């Protein structure tokens, strides 16, 4: 037989694209359109309905960046269309085919009922099937003219990312607003051809099935009447019927399709626009559920549900009905799909608590899994937190983006730092926006790592990132792929059903231990430093507010615990931990608003804490310690002086101004407190850090070396830092001044000032306090660089086999060598409050109050010694998507802690991030709780969320070993229970003879205790 593949394929392509697709709508008539441009921010429907509208014609430019134009559309169904399937078709002037990053609209009836959204891949609005001739059509269409931020391909800076800089030039030209007849035979023929052509393209050249499809398509084209596509479409489909009916092989892979619409809670649009995106997408989804009874849609992010509930009650009611019918699956159990590395431990717990509670309260559904497809790596604390929140499975997709190493599993048990395991899957289809194309189905089968042991994978389908969701075309593809020879089999089902079946067939799945490190997007640990600092500060202010509010509730008769205010503030912080806000990868508008929100949160929490402390009574100044560790340190007094104070953990003490064991001297460029001696060179670096206790020099080379690197990644400016950044740099070795600015017996300080680059300026105050080996670097930067990253290096004379970095509820060890590609790929990593390096008998920690990114390297010197260098990433300057990212002023502190154990690092991490608070108060109550036992660390103290008056305490083992201790309370204890994260009892806690609560923890174990107070019912 002659090879005629090319002729047939080209024939089919032309007829399909030029004759069949244009015939999908058999007839159309234009709608009458009028327009009103809303001034400023979006307005409610009632205001838009009452606005004055002016006539509007097609092919007219409309829509300034971030504007809202309301269109009033009216028309009627022609009499001769009676009995046909009639739809409205609206083209706002779409650019490209990405639904979420351009113009989109929500169509309402005139009474305000949202019908459905329109976007490039979903332009229709159903009118009637069958239609009634003469039926009138009246719509109000809320159209958003959101700019295409990525028109430059993630490489071109644009001012469009903020309404303040975007200008007012119209972005779009309206193309179509018609009433049209959908020719269902032609529409289905189009879908038949799509599925068969895509399947054929993926089959092997010598696969008989490929040739069977090819010749069926050729025969079908012979049957098609090019002059009457509509009249011949059914006959063409009949020719294709046999090849579409051939069943899949018995061993065919099964893809569990789960409807999805990834909606970033902010990214290339502000939060206010996400609120509208949820209404558009969820309207589409509930409409689709009415059309396809097998449809199942998985939707996470309780925050987005709350937005719809509060702003679109009719859409909310439709969601509730879909949940009842089993077509809508709340998943994920988190307030938002948060970043997987940067939120603190307690914040990550609250993400799960607030999310799970919302779904239980509003739908009676307890979610079973963590749905987190798009985050930039995942902490090793996740398995334990997920299980403690009542979850059974974990889903992600992003690890498929690895730059260097292919992750070896798709279905596996993920083991966290404490030993907890959770059943985990990441889809081999390698997207959370699947559309069931032939290429996707082939890719899922080709990629699947579990061949021979398991047979199924999951595919989230539907347009996403900016929303959109599944379409009827995707559902039709799923129906055709349900059982089709040559393809994986598609079954649309609830994700819980997939995970149950996957675990049943593969109970002995392999185990992955520790973090799921993404070998990409490593700069998200650093970009938009002020956003990250706002998050860190908010987390610690929330801890303070809860502790002292609980203390006041126990001891101040007139104090009422501020449940609602704390709940609201927590939710604000949790929202901003979304995986494109906290990582710094959003447009300027998002980060401008985030900084303002963090300032508002800080002000409210400072006020709340001050009120709680004041409620304990009037009196002289006292010092309040929120840390879980006792403190003996030098502080500033309200008058500007210094004082040495000793304060128990979680308690207060008088501001007495006691004397420290030894004084600090500041002589020239030397600071000395009897524990360590610091020498500052003329260039502002540390020429020596001498640990006087251990009689050893800490540094191998100059310390606190500030190095400015060129930082232009290959792609994804705000997200990525590529390894070649290390190759070009400038060391900042010219100081404008090095000056002693404090010479107090309790405190010595030297200030170093530098100017460099494009007018940037750094002022660092190097401070040493009495009775502490910790050296603080209080840093102020006025930053005006572009495409640069600034790092601070501490080359330490230690041969460290690994570094230890704090993560949520523990720490993770990473090798300092690069023996394998996996280790070499970790050239930039994340940590929280501290990084520790050590050799037997000696260690050093670098502590920070707002920095997450760092790297640790190791070299061997000519003298045979080893230098291990810790470098903190301080600030970056990417230009996409925010061309002014990180520009301006920054203020933060990091510290060097010589002679530190892991326990010292933990304690100083808390101390730096929870500074002692001085306030006038007569109250000197016992701590709410105290713990006897090394390694048992109190993370949170609060009243139970159910307003019962019970006290909830969250503890964890912080050193990485087993720990035992006794928790004692500052109130009469009636009972104690171990609970899950949602404060639901699991078992009674063990008590000792004195009434305390016995605590025995495995390494990094998290324990939540619910404590009943005597006399409180």
Question: Exposed, middle or buried by CB within 10 Å (0-12, 13-18, 19+), for 682?
Answer: exposed
- Half-sphere exposure in the Cβ direction for 19 (13 Å, CA): 19
What is the chain's length? 1017
Give the torsion through C-alpha atoms of 268, 271, 277, 278, to 10 deg: 130
In the β-sheet with 973-979, what is the strand arrangement from edge to edge? Answer: 936-943, 951-957, 1006-1013, 973-979, 985-988
Task: State how far the alpha carbon of 769 is from the alpha carbons of 558, 751, 992, in Å.
Answer: 40, 15, 40
Residue 235 — φ and ψ, nearest 5°? -65, -40
> By the 8 A CB rule, do 265 and 581 touch?
yes
Could you tell me where the beta strands, DSSP code E, fall in 183-327?
254-259, 297-299
Judge whether 855 counts as a catalytic residue.
Answer: no
Distance CA 298, CA 306 (A): 16
Options 374, 720, 722, 886, the catalytic residue: 374
Distance CA 836, CA 514 (A): 18
- Among residues 829, 913, 807, the alpha carbon closest in space to that of 873 is found at 829
Q: Verify cis geometry, omega within 30 degrees of 0, for the bond prior to 933.
A: no
Distance CA 549, CA 731 (A): 47
Q: Name, in order, each residue with C-beta under 8 angstroms of 655's C-beta and a sequence gap of 6 or more.
A: 620, 621, 622, 623, 637, 643, 645, 918
H or E segment to which residue 720 belongs: none
Distance CA 376, CA 398 (A): 7
Residue 479 — φ and ψ, nearest 5°? -60, -40
Distance CA 357, CA 371 (A): 16
In which residue are the tokens 């994920």 written?
Answer: 332
- Among residues 481, 486, 488, the alpha carbon closest in space to that of 192 is found at 481
Question: Exposed, middle or buried by CB within 10 Å (0-12, 13-18, 19+), for 447?
Answer: middle
> By the 8 A CB rule, do 105 and 90 touch?
yes
Cα Rg for the chain, rounded, in angstroms? 31
Question: Exposed, middle or buried by CB within 10 Å (0-12, 13-18, 19+), for 3?
Answer: exposed
Give the torsion through C-alpha atoms of 238, 243, 249, 254, to 10 deg: -70
> By the 8 A CB rule, do 810 and 514 touch?
no
Task: State how far the alpha carbon of 887 is from the alpha carbons of 347, 527, 883, 908, 910, in Å.
Answer: 28, 11, 9, 30, 29
Distance CA 305, CA 365 (A): 14
Other beta carbons within 10 angstroms of residue 772's beta carbon come to 22
SS3 33: strand
Task: State how far the alpha carbon of 838 is from the alpha carbons of 705, 801, 813, 854, 868, in Å.
Answer: 20, 8, 11, 17, 9
> By the 8 A CB rule, do 445 and 488 touch?
yes
> What is the per-residue DSSP string for 344-378?
-HHHHHHHHHHHHHHHHHHHS----EEE--S-S-B
Distance CA 274, CA 586 (A): 13
> What is the per-residue DSSP string for 231-268?
HHHHHHHHHHHHHHHPPPPTT--EEEEEE---B-SSSS
Catalogue the active-site residues.
374
């Amino acid at each position: 037989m002659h090879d005629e593949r090319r002729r047939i394929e080209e024939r089919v392509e032309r007829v399909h694209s030029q004759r069949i697709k244009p015939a999908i709508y058999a007839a159309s008539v234009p709608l009458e359109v009028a327009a009103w441009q809303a001034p400023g921010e979006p307005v409610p429907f009632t205001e838009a309905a009452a606005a004055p509208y002016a006539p509007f014609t097609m092919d007219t430019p409309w829509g300034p960046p971030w504007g809202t134009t309301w269109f009033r559309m009216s028309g009627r169904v022609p009499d001769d269309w009676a009995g046909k399937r009639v739809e409205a078709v609206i083209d706002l002037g779409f650019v490209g085919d990405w639904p979420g990053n351009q113009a989109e609209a929500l169509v309402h009836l005139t009474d305000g009922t949202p019908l459905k959204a329109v976007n490039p891949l979903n332009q229709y609005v159903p009118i009637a099937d069958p239609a009634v001739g003469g039926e009138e059509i009246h719509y109000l269409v809320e159209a958003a003219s959101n700019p295409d931020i990525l028109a430059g391909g993630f490489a071109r800076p644009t001012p469009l990312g903020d309404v303040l800089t975007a200008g007012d030039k119209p972005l779009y030209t309206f193309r179509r607003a018609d009433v049209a007849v959908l020719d269902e035979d032609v529409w289905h023929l189009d879908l038949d051809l799509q599925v068969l052509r895509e399947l054929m393209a993926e089959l092997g050249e010598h696969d008989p099935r490929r040739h069977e499809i090819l010749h069926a398509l050729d025969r079908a084209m012979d049957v098609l009447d090019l002059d009457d596509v509509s009249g011949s479409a059914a006959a063409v489909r009949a020719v294709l019927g046999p090849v579409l009916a051939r069943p899949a092989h018995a061993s065919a892979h099964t893809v569990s399709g789960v409807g999805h619409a990834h909606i970033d809670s902010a990214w290339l649009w502000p939060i206010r626009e996400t609120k509208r995106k949820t209404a558009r997408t969820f309207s589409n989804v509930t409409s689709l559920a009415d059309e396809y009874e097998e449809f199942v849609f998985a939707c996470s992010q309780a925050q987005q549900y709350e937005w719809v509930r509060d702003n679109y009650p009719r859409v909310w009611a439709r969601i509730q009905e879909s949940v009842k019918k089993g077509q809508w699956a709340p998943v994920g159990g988190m307030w938002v799909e948060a970043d997987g590395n940067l939120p603190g431990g307690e914040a990550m717990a609250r993400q799960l608590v607030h999310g799970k509670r919302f779904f239980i309260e509003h739908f009676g559904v307890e979610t079973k899994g963590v749905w987190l497809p798009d985050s930039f790596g995942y902490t090793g604390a996740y398995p334990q937190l997920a299980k403690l929140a009542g979850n059974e499975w974990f889903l992600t997709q992003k690890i498929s983006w690895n730059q260097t190493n292919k992750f070896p599993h798709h279905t596996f048990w993920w083991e966290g730092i404490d030993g907890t395991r959770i059943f985990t899957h990441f889809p081999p289809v390698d997207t959370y926006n699947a559309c069931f194309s032939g290429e996707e189905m082939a890719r899922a089968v080709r990629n699947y790592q579990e061949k021979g042991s398991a047979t199924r994978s999951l595919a989230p389908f539907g347009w996403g990132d900016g929303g959109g969701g599944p379409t009827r075309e995707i559902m039709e593809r799923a129906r055709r792929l349900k059982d089709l020879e040559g393809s994986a089999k598609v079954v649309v089902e609830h994700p819980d059903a997939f995970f149950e079946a996957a675990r049943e067939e593969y109970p002995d799945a392999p185990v992955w231990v520790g973090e799921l490190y993404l070998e990409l997007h490593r700069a998200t640990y650093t970009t938009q430093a002020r956003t990250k600092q706002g998050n860190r500060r908010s987390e610690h202010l929330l801890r303070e507010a809860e502790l002292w509010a609980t203390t006041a509730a126990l001891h101040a008769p007139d104090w009422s615990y501020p449940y609602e205010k704390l709940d609201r503030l927590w939710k604000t912080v949790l929202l901003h931990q979304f995986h494109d806000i906290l990582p710094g990868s959003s447009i300027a508008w998002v980060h401008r608003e985030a900084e303002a929100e963090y300032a508002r949160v800080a002000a409210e929490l400072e006020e709340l804490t001050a009120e709680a402390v004041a409620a304990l009574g009037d009196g002289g100044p006292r010092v309040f310690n929120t840390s879980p560790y006792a403190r003996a340190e030098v502080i500033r007094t309200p008058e500007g002086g210094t004082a040495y104070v000793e304060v128990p953990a979680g308690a207060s003490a008088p501001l007495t101004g006691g004397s420290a064991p030894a004084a600090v001297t500041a002589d020239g460029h030397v600071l000395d407190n009897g524990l360590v001696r610091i020498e500052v060179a003329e260039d502002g670096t540390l020429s020596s850090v001498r640990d006087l206790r251990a009689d050893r020099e800490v540094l191998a080379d100059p310390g606190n070396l500030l190095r400015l690197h060129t930082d232009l990644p290959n792609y994804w400016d705000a997200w990525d830092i590529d390894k070649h950044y290390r190759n070009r740099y400038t060391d900042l070795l010219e100081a404008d001044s090095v000056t002693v600015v404090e010479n107090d017996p309790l405190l010595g300080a030297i200030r170093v000032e530098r100017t460099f680059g494009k007018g940037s300026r750094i002022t660092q105050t190097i401070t040493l306090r009495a009775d502490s080996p910790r050296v603080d670097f209080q840093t102020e930067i006025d930053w005006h660089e572009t495409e640069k990253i600034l790092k601070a290096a501490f080359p330490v004379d230690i041969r460290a086999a690994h570094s230890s970095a704090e993560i949520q509820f523990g720490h993770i060890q990473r090798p300092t060598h690069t023996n394998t590609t996996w280790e070499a790929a970790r050239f930039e990593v994340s940590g929280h409050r501290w990084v520790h390096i050590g050799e037997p008998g000696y260690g050093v920690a670098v502590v920070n109050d707002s920095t997450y990114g760092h790297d640790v390297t190791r070299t061997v010197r000519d003298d045979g010694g080893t230098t291990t260098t810790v470098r903190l990433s301080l600030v970056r300057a990417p230009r996409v998507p925010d061309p002014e990212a990180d520009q301006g002023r920054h203020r933060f502190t990091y510290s060097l802690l010589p002679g530190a154990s892991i326990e010292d690092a933990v304690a100083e991490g808390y101390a730096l991030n929870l500074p002692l608070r001085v306030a006038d108060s007569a109250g000197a109550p016992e701590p709410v709780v105290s713990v006897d036992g090394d390694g048992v660390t109190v993370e949170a103290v609060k009243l139970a969320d159910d307003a019962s008056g019970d006290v909830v305490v969250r503890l964890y083992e912080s050193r990485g070993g087993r720990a035992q201790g006794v928790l004692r309370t500052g109130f009469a204890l009636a009972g104690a229970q171990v609970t899950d994260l949602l404060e639901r009892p699991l078992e009674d806690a063990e008590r000792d003879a004195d009434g305390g609560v016995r605590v025995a923890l495995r390494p990094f174990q998290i324990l939540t205790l619910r404590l009943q107070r005597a006399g409180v019912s």
